[in-house]
């Protein structure tokens, strides 16, 4: 097994008016990781909720945390991209401000990537929690291995979100220009939603990066009844938009696979 002791991770997390209790749980879950070789970049996306601001202020002096305060609300896509560009470490881990990471999350993900060089990106399975942080009857399991060919031949249910809360090298994100800021205009003009993380994962597949997913529940995913923070409105045709874009990629991938076999 390779030594990962000096491998540094930048954990990035945007925040906008997240409920203070949830935000504190999210931040503490990263600070309490068994793997401590990380910096924690939090982008305050011009929050106006005083409880949110007070919570952030409680962590400003922590030596592992860097809080970037935006002067106007930019949205989750730009906030994440700012955090990526400001990061100083070789690896990037994605975190949301209302979820809770298992204490072993970073340790398990970085050990897997370092010791499996054929894998570019490693995600995790998730366990649902309610607004009181209690586990509920919701779990999401992802395919153990995903590349362009596996994804193209998988069942429809495994084609929507095929990974989550990934860890990868910063250079991989830079290679695909991070999160697509054009989606902001698309969503605003069309009043429709296409998830920025799914868009990123599809573009990474298109670049022939390989995903793996640890078959462990290493993140507790907040299931909310009402909007808090970056909670988005669900338009009636959102699923149709996702399916149509997935179909577009499916056609492209199958054609590229066919060409690669011929060559």
pLDDT tens digits, 231-252: 444 445 666 777 888 888 889 8
227 pLDDT band, cuts 50/70/90, is very low
pLDDT tens digits, 164-179: 999 999 999 999 999 9
- Give the CATH number for residue 22: 3.90.550.10
1 in a domain, yes or no? Answer: no
185 in a domain, yes or no? Answer: yes
2 in a domain, yes or no? Answer: no
Mean pLDDT value of segment 107-136 = 96
pLDDT score, position 232? 42
CA 99/CA 175 separation, integer angstroms: 28
What is the residue range of 198's domain? 9-262
83 in a domain, yes or no? Answer: yes
pLDDT tens digits, 29-61: 999 999 999 999 999 999 999 999 999 999 999
pTM for this entry: 0.90
117 in a domain, yes or no? Answer: yes
25 in a domain, yes or no? Answer: yes
Number of domains in the chain: 1
Cα of first residue to Cα of last residue in the chain, in angstroms, is 36
3 in a domain, yes or no? Answer: no
Most distant CA pair in the chain, distance: 60
pLDDT score, position 153? 86
pLDDT tens digits, 122-136: 999 999 999 999 999
47 in a domain, yes or no? Answer: yes
């Amino acid at each position: 097994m390779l030594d990962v002791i000096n491998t540094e991770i930048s954990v990035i997390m945007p925040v906008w008016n997240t409920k203070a209790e949830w935000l504190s749980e999210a931040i503490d879950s990263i600070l309490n990781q068994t793997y401590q070789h990380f910096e924690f970049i939090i982008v305050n996306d011009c929050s106006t909720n005083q409880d949110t601001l007070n919570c952030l202020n409680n962590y400003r002096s922590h030596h592992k945390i860097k809080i970037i305060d935006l002067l106007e609300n930019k949205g989750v896509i730009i906030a994440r991209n700012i955090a990526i560009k400001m990061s100083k470490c070789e690896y990037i881990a994605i975190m949301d401000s209302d979820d809770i990471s298992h204490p072993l999350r970073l340790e398990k993900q970085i050990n897997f990537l370092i010791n499996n060089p054929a894998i570019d990106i490693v995600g995790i399975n998730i366990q649902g929690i309610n607004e009181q942080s209690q586990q509920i009857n919701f779990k999401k399991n992802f395919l153990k291995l995903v590349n362009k060919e596996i994804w193209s031949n998988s069942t429809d249910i495994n084609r929507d979100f095929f990974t989550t809360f990934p860890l990868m090298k910063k250079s991989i994100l830079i290679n695909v220009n991070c999160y697509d800021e054009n989606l902001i205009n698309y969503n605003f003009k069309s009043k429709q939603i296409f998830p920025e993380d799914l868009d990123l994962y599809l573009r990474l597949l298109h670049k022939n990066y390989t995903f793996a997913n640890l078959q462990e529940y290493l993140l507790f995913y907040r299931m909310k009844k009402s909007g808090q923070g970056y909670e988005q409105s669900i338009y009636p045709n959102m699923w149709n938009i996702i399916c149509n874009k997935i179909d577009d990629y499916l056609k492209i991938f199958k054609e590229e696979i066919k060409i690669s076999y011929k060559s």
